[in-house]
Amino acid sequence: MTLTGHVVVAGGASGIGEATVDALVDEGLCVTVLDANREAVARAEERWSGEDVLVLACDVTEEDEVAEALDQAVDAFGPVTGLVNSAGIACDVPAEKTTVETFRQIVDVNLTGAFILCRAALDHMGDRLSIVNLGSVSGMRANAGRVAYGASKAGVTLMSQVLANEWGGHGVRVNVVAPGPVDSPLIARLHSPEDRKVWTSRVPLRRYGRAADVANAILFLLSDEASYINGHVLTVDGGFLAAGIIRDG
């Protein structure tokens, strides 16, 4: 793949974001990592010490913090050519037990935070920009327990398609990667052993994905090989969305 420039990865200190940063570093890119978890930020600074990686603590829901972080990023590595919105939170709670506070918090981080970063990246881009927002199969199917998370990720998909429409003429591509069940810290907190059995039984490949599987899809959409792909949703789900009746064995 042909990848050059400076990529900002929000939520880049763990999980899918971390795997994406690893892959970008392997490709020789300059990377700015944004993450709200200060412990994870400290680990990330140590992990990528000596690489062209700038790690910053940043709350993606705060416009001023995001703008200041991207100012620092541009000072360090030049205009932003890629953005990966991987910062996210989730819960697995029935709708009637989901509080309004929880609903608002999840939408604020997953959807509003992504929008804030997309706008900020537009202000800090050079002559081109590729944005990859993390959606989810739970934003495309009504999975039980995901009323807030699913709504936020469905919003990410439509938001991304509107931005692809409005910004395409300005040298900006906006796409979505929608993972299915992936072994990550987020899923480890949500899925019990019984949950894993249920999800695995619905996935034709009969396994959870790896963070690197999702990172590979993200890198493709960032790359020059995807230069005519805009407003697309790429599922990385082992066939979950496509599956109908799955036979045992």
Q: What positions carry a catalytic annotation?
A: 149
The contacts of residue 198 (CB under 8 Å, 6+ apart) are none
How does DSSP classify residue 134? E
* Beta strands per DSSP E along 109-162: 125-134
* 97/148 Cα distance (integer angstroms): 11
Residue 8 and residue 200 in contact, taking contact as beta carbons nearer than 8 Å:
no
Residue 183 pairs in a beta bridge with 210
Distances (CA, A) of 225 to 2, 3, 31, 130: 7, 9, 20, 12
Residue 8 token pair: 């900002």
